[in-house]
Amino acid sequence: MKTKTLHYKKQSIGVINSTLDSCEKKEVRDMLVDSIKYKDPTCILTFGGLNMWDATLFFRKFPNCRIISIERDPAILKAQKKRIKPIYNRVFTMHYEFSNFVDQAPHILGNDLDLAFLDFNCVLSRKLEDGLEKFLTHVNKDAIIGLTLVAARDSVAEIEDTYCFQEVCNCREAIYRENRSKVIAHTVKALGKRNGRVVQQIGETKCYQNREREKNEFGQEEVVRVGTPMMFWMFRVVK
C-alpha cells in the first residue's frame, strides 16, 4: 500500500491550544478509523488526554468495541472518569505510563487489539523505543498502530543514545536532520523485526500544536500553523 500524505485544508477557526484538538489531528483520527472500518474492531488502545477526544470518536464509530485509555497523570485521570461516565461500560481508563503499561499489555489487551493510537507529546527517546519494542511483541497480526512524536525541532543531543541515531543513522547527524520522518519510521519497523514482527508503514503526515488567525498583507484573515511541529505515522503489523 502506498504511503498517504495528508494535506491541510483551510478552515475559519480560532486558536487551538492542544494538538489533540486540531483539525489535522482529527484527520489523523479519521485516517485511523478508515484503516479498520471494514472490520468490527474488538479492542482499541489510546492515550486519553483531558478531553478524551480519541476515545470519544472511536466509541462513536465503533460502539461495540472495548476502548482502553491509559493516562499517567492522576489529576487528568480523575477528570477523564467523569467525562466518560455515560459510556463507562465500553471505555476503560487506566493509570499507567506507557513504559509500565507494556509489561501488563498481554493481560489487559489479550489477543483482541485491532488499533492503537500512541499519541506521544515528546521527542523520541531510548525509553520510548524500549516501550515500543515490547509493545510490538504483544500486538496481533493486522493490528494498526498510529504513532505521534515531536520530530521536527528535536536536537541530536536529545536522541543520541537511541537505536534510531546509533544504528539507523549510524551516528550521522546529517542523516537524521534531513530524513527525520523516514529514519523514525524505519526504526519502528526495525524494532519489530528484532522480535520477528513484520511492520509496514501505511501513512504519515505532519501536525502542529497550535493554529491562529492572522491578517495577510491584504488585510484578509488567514489561518496559520504555529507551535511545535508533530509527525504522525501509521503502521500495520503484517506478521
Q: Does domain 4-8+20-211+229-237 have CATH number 3.40.50.300?
A: no
* Mean pLDDT of all residues in 24-37: 79
Strand partners, 200: 236
Q: How confident is the model at residue 235 (pLDDT cuts 50, 70, 90)?
A: very high
Sequence length of the chain is 239
Question: Domains of the chain: which residue ranges?
Answer: 4-8+20-211+229-237
Q: Checking DSSP bridges between strand 199-215 and strand 144-150, what pairing results, if any?
A: unpaired
Lowest mean pLDDT among 17-31, 43-57, 145-159: 17-31
What pLDDT score was predicted for residue 35?
A: 85
d(CA 120, CA 147): 7
* Residue 3 DSSP SS3: coil
* Mean pLDDT of all residues in 62-80: 87
Over residues 80-133, the pLDDT tens digits come to: 887 777 666 788 888 899 989 999 998 888 888 999 999 887 889 999 999 999
What pLDDT score was predicted for residue 189?
A: 96
Q: Does pLDDT of 185 surpass 80?
A: yes
What pLDDT score was predicted for residue 117?
A: 93
User: DSSP letter string over 193-208?
Assistant: HTTT--EEEEEEEEEE
List Cα–Cα distances, 12 to 8, 149, 218, 220, 224, in angstroms. Answer: 13, 26, 17, 12, 11
